[in-house]
Amino acid sequence: MSAGRGKLLIAEPFLGDPNFERSVVLLCEHNSQGSFGLVLNQTTQLRLDDVIENVYGELPLFIGGPVEQNTLHFIHRLGDIEGAVDIGNGIYWSGDFENIKTLINIGKITEKDIRLFIGYSGWSAGQLENEMNRNSWIVSETDAHFIFDTPADQFWREILKSMGGEYKVLSNYPTDPRLN
């Protein structure tokens, strides 16, 4: 399967890059200029109200990647947000943040509807393809149900298990095989 908008990149267990160890990245954009994605399973101790004023929901923040960690990004399953980009399978990227803040403040958006990220993952033209050729990433389909209903700390293992076969075996691979 090839990489593309709305696909998951699952870090191969032997990737060796501390920024992406056991990461699951949702590709929001992938074209000839490069790729943009958000790591779905790197949590922080921060909440949205720690970094944005006048927001009253206690929504957790995730680390979207090592690039520009002073920026805020979000994905959601709310199709009626102005400016949102449909990346497929009920998943939307970005949109009118003032509208999002209002909906959070009146309790219309919960953790089950949105994921917020500081920073992002980016690849220049051809860089992701080179990593794919080195078998650094496993590509998979996903949907809003998996992204918003699976606990972040289980993403890597659960997506591999759901793929079956050799991937199910990889899902049980220890973080440090020397300790096995």
Domains recognised in the chain with CATH numbers? 8-179 (3.40.1740.10)
* Residues of the chain scoring pLDDT < 70: 15, 173-180
Helix or strand holding residue 168 (H, E): helix 165-171
Count the residues in the chain.
Answer: 180
Task: Give the pLDDT of residue 18.
Answer: 77
DSSP 41: S
- pLDDT at site 21: 86
* The pLDDT value given to residue 174: 64
Distance CA 100, CA 160 (A): 32
Contact 51, 97 (CB under 8 A): no
Does residue 116 contact residue 103 with C-beta atoms inside 8 Å? no
Give the burial string for 10-43 (b: 16+ CB within 10 Å, else e): bbbbebeeeebebbbbbbbbbeeeebbbbbbbbe
pLDDT value of residue 176: 54
- Are 100 and 114 in contact, with CB atoms under 8 Å apart? yes
Q: Residue 105 in 3-state DSSP?
A: helix
> Amino acid identity, residue 61?
L
Query: How high is the pLDDT of residue 2?
Result: 83
C-alpha 59/C-alpha 61 separation (Å) is: 7
Global pTM value: 0.92
